[in-house]
Amino acid sequence: MKARRQALILNIIKEKSIETQEELGEALKKEGVGVTQATLSRDIKELGLIKVPTPDGNYRYSMPNDRSFSDLLNRAERMFEHAVIGIDYSENLIIIKTTTGTAQGVAAALDDLEWQEVLGTIAGDDSILVIVRKKEQVEEVLARLYKLRR
């Protein structure tokens, strides 16, 4: 649930200009996810959200541009721990099964890691296709993915 909620938060702030925790809570509620102010505050902190100025002089939530690799790795580990159900592969393609509604958030966390062996990801609702550049690199990528799951 936490990973799904946090993935939803990231999607919301990418699509809408959210200025306050109350607005974010309402947007989550419209998506069918109720949340307390304390939980929302904790999610904002864990996701590393910041407030950036808008053209009209207000501020809105955003992801920081200068996130460290350590921050990105911690986020990916949290997402994998809470959302990934299974991992399988064929040739140079890896399929990651996730809990419903979390695949896009998990894929975004993977994309942020910018692994050179990964050409890209495609996410649905509960599954992610990871395209590895060369099939010889699949085992290395799989090992990293399993490590993210702890």
Q: Where in the chain is the domain with CATH 1.10.10.10?
A: 2-62
pLDDT tens-place values along the chain, 150 residues long: 788 888 889 889 988 899 999 999 999 999 999 999 999 999 998 888 888 887 788 889 988 765 667 777 887 888 898 899 999 999 999 999 999 988 988 998 899 888 999 999 999 999 999 999 999 999 999 999 999 987
pLDDT at residue 66, rounded to an integer: 55
CATH for 69-149? 3.30.1360.40
Quickly count: other Cβ atoms within 10 Å of residue 13's Cβ.
Answer: 19
CA-CA-CA-CA torsion sign (131, 135, 141, 142):
positive
- Report the alpha-carbon distance of residue 79 to residue 31 in Å, rounded: 20
DSSP 8-state assignment for residue 77? H
Q: CATH classification of 2-62, choosing from 3.40.120.10, 3.90.700.10, 1.10.10.60, 1.10.10.10? A: 1.10.10.10
Local structure of residue 133 (DSSP, 8 states): S
Tell me how far apart the alpha carbons of residues 22 and 24 are, in angstroms, rounded to a whole number.
5
In contact, 40 and 25? CB cutoff 8 Å = yes
- At residue 149, the pLDDT reads 85
Residue 2 pLDDT = 83
Where are the CATH 3.30.1360.40 domain residues in the chain?
69-149
